[in-house]
Amino acid sequence: MNVLISSCLLGQYCRYDGNIKEYAAMQTLLQARQIHLIPICPEQSGGLATPREPAECKNGRVITQSGIDVTAAYHRGAVEAVKLARLFHCSYAILKEKSPTCGSGNIYDGSFRHITVEGDGIAVQYLKKAGIAVIGESEMIRIEQLIAMS
Ligand code: SF4
């Protein structure tokens, strides 16, 4: 089974701050031989550089901390995520929580004060519309269910 995954969850150098981070929970996934992970960073695919200024969603737009509107790049990246998911016949995506791109269910509220509100990141909105189920990295029960059914 092919599963789309946020590149940063695999420790790739694509986070906005230019740092890499390890996610211990992802080891379970990496050991599941029947799951083939298809990494994507929609922000990079949309044309943004790493490192880049942090951005958050507000009123349907994506705005950086200094006030630059980067909405178009986020939409480009979301289109690329759907394209890749279709190319590899992915029905599921495991994506980084709270991100303005990859967050599902909860995202930062646009105040840059680490406050979250209900909502989906831009790529998640596109993926869900395309019928792809999105799982956050902390949802271990859903990840284990996915491994069991693969
Ligand atoms: S959360 Fe998504 S957009 Fe942000 S760095 Fe990770 S893969 Fe890229």
State the pLDDT at residue 28: 86
pLDDT at 127: 98
Best residue for ligand 1 mutational test, from 8, 38, 52 (most atoms within 8 Å of Cβ): 8
- Look at residue 26 in the predicted model and tell me its pLDDT: 87
Structural contact between residues 17 and 99, judged by C-beta atoms closer than 8 angstroms: no
The residue extents of the domains of the chain are 2-53+71-96+121-149
CB distance 135 to 4 below 8 Å:
no
Contacting residues for 37 by C-beta, under 8 A, at least 6 apart? 2, 3, 5, 10, 29, 30
Q: In a mutational test of the pocket of ligand 1, which residue from 53, 75, 101, 138 has the highest number of ligand atoms less than 8 Å from its CB?
A: 101
CATH 3.40.50 fits 2-53+71-96+121-149, yes or no: yes
Residues in the ligand 1 pocket, defined by CB under 6 Å: 6-8, 14-15, 41-43, 96, 99, 101-102
Q: Quote the ligand 1 centre to 79 CA distance (angstroms).
A: 14
pLDDT for residue 25: 81
> For residue 79, what are its two tokens?
């289109």
Q: What are the strands, taking DSSP E only, across 83-128?
A: 92-95, 106-108, 116-118
pLDDT, averaged in runs of 10, over the chain (150 residues): 97 95 86 94 98 97 98 98 98 97 98 97 98 96 92
For residue 141, how far is its CA from the centre of ligand 1 (angstroms)?
22
Residue 22 pLDDT: 84
The backbone torsions φ and ψ at residue 45, rounded to the nearest 5 degrees and listed phi first, read -65, -25
